[in-house]
Amino acid sequence: MTGTARLRSSMGRYLLRRTVGMMLMLILISVVSYSMIRLLPGDPVVAMFGERGDPVQMARVRADLGLDQPPALYYFVWVGRVLTGDFGRSLQSNKPVLETLREKLVPTVQLTVMAVLVTALIALPLGVGAAIQRGTVFDMGAGIFAMLGLSIPNFCLGILFIFFFALTLGWLPPSGWRDPFKEPFQSLRYMLLPSLTLGFALAAGIMRQVRSSLLDVLLLDYMRTARAKGLAERNVVLRHAMRNALIPVITVAGLSIGRLLGGAVISEIIFAIPGLGRAVVDAIFARDYPVIQGAVLLMACVVLIVNLVVDLLYAVVDPRIRYS
């Protein structure tokens, strides 16, 4: 067996193990989320119809939700439906849960992607500059930015951005959302403030990680050897130091995806974005069990897939890493 064939075989075994682990994790998440949702106080059917609702309709909806069955028994019924692609129907809109989540997913994905871009555009230049210019005014300014980003809550930052950029200067709309496929320019304007709000704190944390990792690498012996060979400082930093410094940064960035999804809930509420986080909050208040359970599974899938991609990126950044 050639080296390439062995590499593909080991990678295939690794992906198989990770896929099995992800399925087991999804089962555990579904059990925990199902149990916690069932422990929520209140009756979703009463919340939907009121105290004087039609008893026949209320009984039918209660049967559809499995509230007339033992919770442990209905869990397996619900899992069987999910495996066939049936997540049930929303109690609020009476639409299929998958259709509801699909509609809400577009704003959340757009917000998350733009927040990641904002994070990269802020964190990488500031982190690299602070490491190269250690102890200078630039380094001190980057440290102040990191401290502010980590200490100011997202909801406060969002309100400050709305007051300054929307109400005072009038540069950007204060809230709302536009379909990026129909109105791309307007959609960008509406999503700029939410993405800045969401990416600000994440950029502060990743900037500190970039600075710390790059400083550690720049002090290693092979960096002095590269400089002694006459390489330009730019090539030393970007081609030699950054590849090793990015490994812990990628780890932190991957773990931050969950924070992005959690922070998206606050940003979507503040800026009136009809995204997945806001839909989950509305579903919790309305006791809309099918939407809550479907959204939790969807978010869990996204986080698990992102973590797998992050692990695979290690081998791209550092060719010495092999999976077996």
Coil/strand/helix, residue 58: helix
Each residue's pLDDT tens digit in the chain (324 positions)?
555 666 566 677 778 888 888 888 888 988 888 887 777 766 677 766 666 777 777 777 777 766 777 777 778 888 888 888 888 888 777 788 888 888 888 888 888 888 888 888 888 888 888 888 888 888 888 888 888 888 888 888 888 888 888 888 888 888 888 888 888 888 888 889 998 888 888 888 888 888 888 888 777 777 777 677 776 667 777 766 777 777 778 777 777 777 777 667 888 888 888 888 888 888 888 778 888 888 888 888 888 888 888 777 776 666 666 655
Looking at the structure of the chain, the number of domains it has is 2
Name the residue range of residue 35's domain: 3-83
Residues 77 and 104 in one domain: no
The Cα 78–Cα 96 span in angstroms is 14
- Phi then psi dihedrals of residue 40, to 5 deg: -60, 135
CATH of the domain at 227: 1.10.3720.10
Residues 54 and 164 in one domain: no
Q: Is residue 322 included in any domain, yes or no?
A: no
Which amino acid is it at 150? L
State the helix-helix crossing angle for 289-317 and 276-285, rounded to 10 degrees.
150
Residues 228 and 311 in one domain: yes
Residues 14 and 48 in one domain: yes
Q: Is residue 164 included in any domain, yes or no?
A: yes
